[in-house]
Amino acid sequence: MGLLVYYDPDTGAISYTLRAGVAGFAPPPGTRIEVETDNTPDPQLWKVEGGQLMHRGAEVLPRLRAEAVAAVNERAGLRRSSILTLVAGQDVVYREKEAEAAAWVAASPPDLSDFPLIAAEIGITGEDGHQVAQVILNRARLDREALAVIETVRLTAIAAIGAAEDEAAIAAAVGVFDG
């Protein structure tokens, strides 16, 4: 079954498409070509040139790259959200806890009244200030390692998107977050 592709004769931009081949179908007037395909071409990726359906190629790569970078950043954010608590100000609390924990370990002997965030977690995260400090430092290290992996994948994907010469290479670069 053919596909009627209506387009602007001056620019080649696709206006709309219609399926042909239905009994009694009378196509509306307009500049069109008929192509044999089961897929409807995306008007942003295809145009009509010289009576043929043509991929826009390099003409659309900047837009595709920008969309791909946005998708990679969104996916990286989703991965980060599985590690971090996304509550306003929580990142500051985590940084302060880590700073307190490092100071606790360095203090000799630590005075609990100087460490309010560690004190708040005694009996919850650990039985005493030392256990709480160790848990906080270990969690921070593990989070940093996981975030570094996500950042490496994100930056690698963005570099691949920038170097991609076609739509398939761009899609493959975005796909690293799907696995």
Taking only the tens place, the pLDDT of each residue in 98-123 is 999 999 999 999 999 999 999 999 99
Q: Looking at the predicted structure, is the pLDDT value of residue 51 above 90?
A: no
| Pair 106, 116: CB distance under 8 Å | no
pLDDT of residue 27: 82
H-type alpha helices, the chain: 61-81, 90-106, 116-121, 129-163, 167-174
The DSSP code for 82 is: T
- Prediction pTM value: 0.68
What are the tens digits of pLDDT across the range 11-35?
Answer: 888 888 888 777 777 888 889 988 8
Q: How far apart are CA 8 and CA 10, in angstroms?
A: 5
